[in-house]
Structure 1
Amino acid sequence: MPYFTTSDGTEIYYIDQGAGSPVVLSHGWPLSSDAWQREVKLIADAGYRAIAHDRRGHGRSSKTYAGNDMDTYARDLAELIEHLDLHDVVLIGHSTGGGEVVRYAARHGAGRVKKLLTAGAVPPVMVRSESNPEGTPIEAFDAIREGVLDDASQFYRDLAAPFFGANREGATVSQGAADDFWRQGMLVNLAAAYDCVKAFSETDFTDDLTSLDVPILIAHGDDDQIVPIAAAAEKTITLVKNGTLKVYPGAPHGIAGDYQKALDADILAYLAE
């Protein structure tokens, strides 16, 4: 299993499969690179080099107490990409990972990034404020922190329902998908899971988005209960210079089922452009 050690001594686990032009995938909270297993195979099978890492504190990477913030996440990604000497990279990020790849591309990716794709991504900023009335109230994020601190195992079991839209009438989310969400969540270091809530909810990516000079495909389900589209993708598309918004009717936050199949087809088409 490949590991890379960052400049501050953090061990980052990653998978690296296939050959060809590089595609780097960044996962959401509280998951790991395992969330991208299907995409890694499909991308590698299509003739690309697919790379996905476990963010610090998540999965098999170091169980960090410090550095659980978006600037450090982006720096870790920069150091991994530099370590692998990747160029003409396509970045794909889901949820928190969407914020990570946007910040990386804006602040570290000059000369290395070809284009981006985000899915259910947190930019521009999630938390509600006077300037962002469509955002989610801070009390909702406080409740996430409380849930993680009080009983993380049960919290992840409960969160799987809105994450995948299993609480909607007619939903066909498998028990396996919910179980795997719980499994990945339980690998996160508690301090990292707790601190990452602030990172994904309060980081403002507005300047990063406006400074992007590469194409970005912004994918989002219009029934996303975790990162509502009105405060995210619908605002992001107004800030980027070269963006395309793709809305998936009825799709939730979690990438599974019919939504996953549709998104994966769009990912492969986007890579081939």
Structure 2
Amino acid sequence: MGFYIKVESDVKIYVEDLNPSGCKTILFLHGWPADHTMFEYQFNQLPNMGYRCVGIDQRGFGKSDKPWTGYDYDTLSDDIRCVVDALDLHDFTLGGHSTGGAIAIRYMARHQGYGVSKLALFAAAAPSLIQRPYFPYGLKREDVIKIIQGTNTDRPEMLREFGDTFFFQHVTQAFSDWFFQMGLQAAGWSTAAIANTWLDEEKLFEDLEKIHVPTLILHGIHDKVCLFPLALAQHDGIRNSILVPFKFSGHGVFYDERDEFNKELTKFIEE
């Protein structure tokens, strides 16, 4: 069932709520530059196992409204709080991929983990997607600037190049085209704005310390977007966290090893 939830007077967020009567709820936050349909291979399986799966399109992406502003992690986490309140979610697992993982971390800090009983991070873009003087991991700053420039000059080509680095396992041309079209659903300005947020955002280092729920970290060792040392930093910074390296996955861990991904996620929720 798909519907819209108003998060500001002129901004609505698109939400899919699968198996609303499920015994346990998972709220999925997609990564850049995709939308909630990137979790298709979770949504195909987990509701049949009794889970309620809620997927949202972040503002600027998928079927959600695409305002000119609001692409900082504070505002994006506030959008999540609006969804949580509107659906009256309690005792749920919050799961986020890549930038969605960073937003999930900000939600835990900014909203004191409201309603969340467990946190799951999938190739999360945290505590910093880029290298910094005190954090010699992640992408080079100029690599992200190149993405922004590509977004503003030839977004389809930028998306193609980015998609080529996303998965470690072989994907068919049809699958690659599907993933490419997902990125095109976003607005160009929101695509660039999120990349600018990667450059400016440093508070996630502090946010990690404010997470007090059991946390699962699933990360591909071949990830070329959020490099594996980011997962190690998350594990070090979050108390009561479990890190599961995926030996045959890149950034698209949710698809590269989808059966193992679903297994580890549901096992964590049931523990």
What is the TM-score of this pair, normalised by structure 1?
Answer: 0.93
Using the TM superposition, give the Cα deviation of residue 107 of structure 1 relative to its aligned residue in structure 2, in angstroms.
Answer: 1.6
Is the 1:99–1:200 contact (alpha carbons within 8 Å) kept by the matching residues of 2? no
In structure 2, the CA distance between the partners of 1:247 and 1:202, relative to structure 1 (3 Å rule), is farther
For residues 85-138 of structure 1, the C-alpha deviation after alignment (integer angstroms, 9 at most, x for no partner) is 100010111101101111112221445110011111011112212101123211
Aligned length: 267
**Aligned with 2:161: secondary structure?**
helix
Structure-2 residue corresponding to 1:97? 100
Among candidates 139, 145, 159, match of residue 156 of structure 1: 159
Whole-Å separation in 2 of the counterparts to 1:69 and 1:242: 27
Structure-1 residue corresponding to 2:137? 134
Among candidates 42, 47, 57, match of residue 44 of structure 1: 47
Note the residue ranges of structure 2 that are not aligned, 5 or more in a row: none
Is the 1:164–1:256 contact (alpha carbons within 8 Å) kept by the matching residues of 2? no
The alignment status of 1:147 with 2:150, answered yes or no, reads yes
Using the TM superposition, give the Cα deviation of residue 142 of structure 1 relative to its aligned residue in structure 2, in angstroms.
Answer: 0.3
- 176-185 vs 21-30, greater mean Cα deviation: 176-185
Residue 173 of structure 1 aligns with an amino acid whose one-letter code is: V
Is the 2:41–2:255 contact (alpha carbons within 8 Å) kept by the matching residues of 1? no
- 199-208 vs 73-82, greater mean Cα deviation: 199-208
What is the TM-score of this pair, normalised by structure 2?
Answer: 0.94
Is the 2:90–2:115 contact (alpha carbons within 8 Å) kept by the matching residues of 1? yes
Whole-Å separation in 1 of the counterparts to 2:13 and 2:132: 34
Is the 2:35–2:62 contact (alpha carbons within 8 Å) kept by the matching residues of 1? yes
Structure-2 residue corresponding to 1:172? 170
Paired-residue identity, %: 28
The alignment status of 1:77 with 2:80, answered yes or no, reads yes
Structure-2 residue corresponding to 1:33? 36
- 49-58 vs 173-182, greater mean Cα deviation: 173-182
Structure-2 residue corresponding to 1:55? 58
Among candidates 242, 259, 262, match of residue 260 of structure 2: 262
Structure-2 residue corresponding to 1:168? none
- 73-82 vs 148-157, greater mean Cα deviation: 148-157
Runs of 4+ in 1 over 6 A off after TM superposition: none
Residue 212 of structure 1 aligns with an amino acid whose one-letter code is: I
Is the 1:106–1:212 contact (alpha carbons within 8 Å) kept by the matching residues of 2? yes
Is the 1:64–1:189 contact (alpha carbons within 8 Å) kept by the matching residues of 2? no
Structure-2 residue corresponding to 1:17? 18
In structure 2, the CA distance between the partners of 1:173 and 1:201, relative to structure 1 (3 Å rule), is farther
In structure 2, the CA distance between the partners of 1:111 and 1:143, relative to structure 1 (3 Å rule), is closer
For residues 18-77 of structure 1, the C-alpha deviation after alignment (integer angstroms, 9 at most, x for no partner) is 122221000000000010122123221111211000000000000121101111110000
RMSD between superposed Cα atoms in Å: 1.4
Note the residue ranges of structure 1 that are not aligned, 5 or more in a row: 166-170
**Aligned with 1:211: secondary structure?**
coil
**Aligned with 1:50: secondary structure?**
strand
- 116-125 vs 173-182, greater mean Cα deviation: 173-182
Residue 17 of structure 1 aligns with an amino acid whose one-letter code is: L
**Aligned with 2:8: secondary structure?**
coil
Structure-1 residue corresponding to 2:181? 183
Is the 1:68–1:192 contact (alpha carbons within 8 Å) kept by the matching residues of 2? yes
Whole-Å separation in 2 of the counterparts to 1:8 and 1:242: 38
Using the TM superposition, give the Cα deviation of residue 198 of structure 1 relative to its aligned residue in structure 2, in angstroms.
Answer: 2.1
